[in-house]
Amino acid sequence: MTNFEIQHKDLMGRIGKLCTAHGYIETPAILPVINPNIISIEAAELKHYGAEMLITNAYIIYRKQDLREEALKTGIHSLLGTDMPIMTDSGSYQLYEYKDVEVSNAKILEFQQRIGSDVCVPLDIPTAPYSNRERAKGDLDVTLNRLREARNLMPANEQANMLAGVVQGSTFTDLRADSARQAAELGFDLYAIGGVVPLLESHDFARLVDIIIASKRNLPLNAPVHLFGAGHPMLFALAVALGCDLFDSAAYALFAKDKRYLTNEGTKKIGNLRALPCSCPVCSAHSVAELKESKDLLASHNLWVTFEEMRTVKQSIAEGSLWELCERRCRAYPSLLDALERITNYSTLIEKYDTATKRPFFYLSHYSAHRPEVVRYSNRLNRFYVSHSVLITTKEEPGEEKFDHIFLVKPPFGPYPVELKETYPVGQSEIPVTIDDEARTVALQNVVKLLMMNKGKAKFVFRYDNSWEGHPLLEEISKHVELMENIDLHNLHR
């Protein structure tokens, strides 16, 4: 089935090698959308930007006699003038937007096969976000029947064309989970999360996080996952961190048509720019005025930044800094910040996918206090063995030899044995000198956890310096001191 080899991982993101009938591509990958009616940038030129694979719409070709005949005669690769792998969409989105698709699932699949598509997509039914449940469930049942039919028409291992299993279910996370589970059971070469375009348009990114997570956790880990319609570079870090591997971009052209200039942090109206902040070949050689006058130049810049951002995302996976990238990107825009907040709700899940060792991390905002590495650290507090007398202290001081064990406290992790001072993750992660309350809170929660776990096993002394004064959890700790005879609360500066 799928030939997908994962080479690097970070959070739920991965760098992979996907084998297609037209060669290997590296993921995460962005597939520029080619409209077969108006090919504004030639496929050969797209390679130049970094494109390794394209996506086009089989239905648009199918419904236009001359295109259909040519595609059937010469194949989709010749029609688009490329030997790059090509994914073909089925017309589902046209079905959703214009309600006028006159082709059956079986017909459009057969057509995709006959024109030599590398990745075929069944005619799924995208259900609008926030639809009523009955509608979402009814549409999903149809989609699942079509996926079943597709798998029967194109049995696994019997053809060069890969087949995508599409996940729908509107904004109901249980339906998304069901949809993913059943698609996974049928077994596809890759999976695609659909029906999210309206959420992207309304910037409902927190809900997008819920949907991706509900889908991803029920899909096989060894298959690539496409996120339909997410072509804006500001979303890549976030979507890749949640395990999406393939993206399509019509955004570069759509935004250009609207005189909008893409950046990895959002969108600017070209008319509002006083200078071009980017150094791509277009922006290096042209003025704001020239971009204002030319949709093609604007589209070209948009493509450059789109591919640049994907390279940045890949580099951050390779070096283990995808969380930092996510945090930086999401802090550029309030509705992305909501998405980041939502991601922290899933840190326990993400931790299970994340690699256990990587480079030390940078604490960049209070969201860093809820990184998967911090959750993992808390989960492993039970690995520390304590006995006799134990000092937990926020500051190392001379003359502490009288304790059998010394734990230092470092936000956001909390207590760690002084012997691990130089080791990953606590010793090596970099935190700012002025640390926020969230990091202190998580650290003190872990102090409480360590105390509770070792109740009666040792005599504890907790000592804190005055920068911690007034933190509500100190009272909580002192409560345990009273509850637990062996624990003593000391204030360093008292």
Q: Which residues are catalytic?
A: 89
CB of 85 to ligand GUN, least distance (A): 18
Secondary structure of residue 142 in the 3-state scheme: helix
One residue of 9, 216, 232, 301 binding Zn ion per CB under 5 A: 301
Nearer to Zn ion, 34 or 282 (CB): 282
Number of C-beta neighbours around residue 134 at 10 A? 8
Residues 6+ apart with CB under 8 A from 187: 1, 151, 156, 165
* Residue 169 amino acid letter: G
* Residue 255 amino acid letter: F
Nearer to ligand GUN, 95 or 374 (CB): 95
* Residue 339 amino acid letter: A
CB of 264 to Zn ion, least distance (A): 11
Instruction: Assess 111 for contact with ligand GUN (CB under 6 A).
Output: no
Nearer to Zn ion, 112 or 249 (CB): 249
Using the contact rule CB under 5 A, the part of the chain among 153-161, 275-283, 329-337, 460-468 near Zn ion is 275-283
Pairing of strands 405-410, 414-417: antiparallel
Q: Determine contact, residues 129/156, Cβ cutoff 8 Å.
A: no
Instruction: Assess 218 for contact with ligand GUN (CB under 6 A).
Output: no
One residue of 177, 197, 240, 340 binding ligand GUN per CB under 6 A: 197
**Token pair listed for 19:** 């084998």
Q: What is the DSSP track for 378-412?
A: HHTGGG----EEEEEESS--S--TT-SEEEEEETT
Instruction: Assess 280 for contact with Zn ion (CB under 5 A).
Output: yes
Contacts with ligand GUN, 154-173, as mask; x by CB under 6 A:
------------x-------
Q: How far is CA 57 from CA 41, 111, 156, 334, in A?
A: 16, 11, 23, 33
**Residues 115-134 within binding reach of ligand GUN (CB under 6 A):** 121, 124, 126
Residue nearest to ligand GUN (CB): 194
Instruction: Assess 354 for contact with ligand GUN (CB under 6 A).
Output: no
b/e for 198-232, b at 16 or more Cβ within 10 A?
bbbeeebbbbbbbbbbbbbbbbbeebbbbbbbbbb
**Residues 63-92 within binding reach of ligand GUN (CB under 6 A):** 89-90, 92
Using the contact rule CB under 5 A, the part of the chain among 19-27, 241-249, 278-286, 377-385 near Zn ion is 278-286
One residue of 116, 169, 229, 233 binding ligand GUN per CB under 6 A: 229
* Residue 419 amino acid letter: E
Instruction: Assess 204 for contact with ligand GUN (CB under 6 A).
Output: no
Count of residues that bind ligand GUN according to CB under 6 A: 13
Instruction: Assess 195 for contact with ligand GUN (CB under 6 A).
Output: yes
**Token pair listed for 483:** 């509850």
Q: Which residues bind ligand GUN (CB under 6 A)?
A: 89-90, 92-93, 121, 124, 126, 166, 194-195, 197, 228-229
Q: Which residues bind Zn ion (CB under 5 A)?
A: 278, 280, 282-283, 301
